[in-house]
Amino acid sequence: MYDMKAFYEAHSVADAVTLRLEHPEAQILAGGTDVLVQMREGKRAGKELISIYGIDELRGVSIDEAENIRIGSLTSFSHITKDPIIQKYINVLGEAVDMVGGPQIRNAGTIGGNTCNGVTSADSASTLFAWDAIIELTGEKGVRRIPIQDFYISAGKVDIRPDEIQTAILIPKASYENCFGHYIKYAMRNAMDIATTGCSVNVVLSGDKNTVARARIAYGVAGPIPLRCAHAEAAAQGKPLTEETVEAFAAAVLEDVHPRDSWRASKAFREHIAVELAKRALVESVKLAGGELA
């Protein structure tokens, strides 16, 4: 069923790095929910595989010494959704990955595999962009950490060097503290479908809950890679909680999004949806933060 040249199994991060150096053309295998399907379809036929699935140190969610939320790259979507740290500080990520595929996919699929695919439609990606996630990569020379915005290079391509594997995703304390967010996935079906557009918004409100101290918004399928909307964020920052602020925020996303025509949806429709999702996600984020529109 699977046409592969060779299969190697890493038992530690150091072991995985060594195998990467010895087999530079090999494909990393995590949960296998994408790679194995593609192999069965013949798209990756004859490839060498390096499985990192048995490296348990890459699983789980914790808070590190710098108070970053640390998500091991092999943490499954199901684990993320149910994890108490995620539920307390960044529940929107759990809600977003709970929209990936069906239960079998969510039990096997990993957050690292989802981001390393480099696809703009990944349900985790827009939320990770909106929360200023940092990607941790480990290679022969040690650990390298880069903002997720720099990790995504182009459609299907990410910044992983030949000797590296992704070991974690970090959410800095400054990104999650007193922050509340909402993710909306628009797709043709309610379940087991790729997003036509995905929008993730989060806000920090002023102490009196009357002003937007900070707003962040990111999209999937609004360009070749997930993207942040700097114009929309600037349009809301420091503004009162009013319908006018919501409208200005949503309208400004059109200065940043670059959707394309495809069989799933036209460019014009995606732009219309982008504006509408921005409104709804901002309003819900404000509610979650304890605010109310005037």
Looking at the structure, tell me whether residues 85 and 8 fall in a common domain. Answer: no
Domain-embedded: residue 294: no
The mean pLDDT value of the chain amounts to 91
Looking at the structure, tell me whether residues 116 and 79 fall in a common domain. Answer: yes
Residue for token digits 């684990």?
79
pLDDT of the residue at 247: 97
pLDDT of the residue at 265: 72
Q: Among residues 13, 34, 51, which one ends one of the domains?
A: 51
Looking at the structure, tell me whether residues 224 and 165 fall in a common domain. Answer: no
As a 3-state breakdown, the chain gives helix, strand, coil percent values, each rounded to 5, of: 35, 25, 40
Q: Return the CATH number at 21.
A: 3.30.43.10
Looking at the structure, tell me whether residues 240 and 146 fall in a common domain. Answer: no
Looking at the structure, tell me whether residues 188 and 158 fall in a common domain. Answer: no
> How far is Cα 184 from Cα 195, in angstroms, rounded to an integer?
10
In sequence order, the β-bridge partners of residue 184 are 199
pLDDT of the residue at 51: 92
pLDDT of the residue at 17: 96
**Chunked mean pLDDT (size 10), the chain, 294 residues:** 83 96 90 75 79 94 96 96 96 91 81 88 90 97 96 93 96 97 81 76 97 96 90 98 97 90 78 94 97 90
Looking at the structure, tell me whether residues 62 and 167 fall in a common domain. Answer: yes
pLDDT of the residue at 137: 98
User: Do residues 163 and 70 lie in contact, with contact meaning Cβ atoms separated by under 8 Å?
Assistant: no
pLDDT of the residue at 192: 58
What's the total number of domains in the chain? 3
Looking at the structure, tell me whether residues 159 and 76 fall in a common domain. Answer: yes
Q: What residues make up the domain containing 269?
A: 181-288
Kindly state the tokens that stand for 293: 């529109």
Looking at the structure, tell me whether residues 94 and 14 fall in a common domain. Answer: no
Looking at the structure, tell me whether residues 23 and 67 fall in a common domain. Answer: no
pLDDT of the residue at 215: 98
Looking at the structure, tell me whether residues 281 and 190 fall in a common domain. Answer: yes
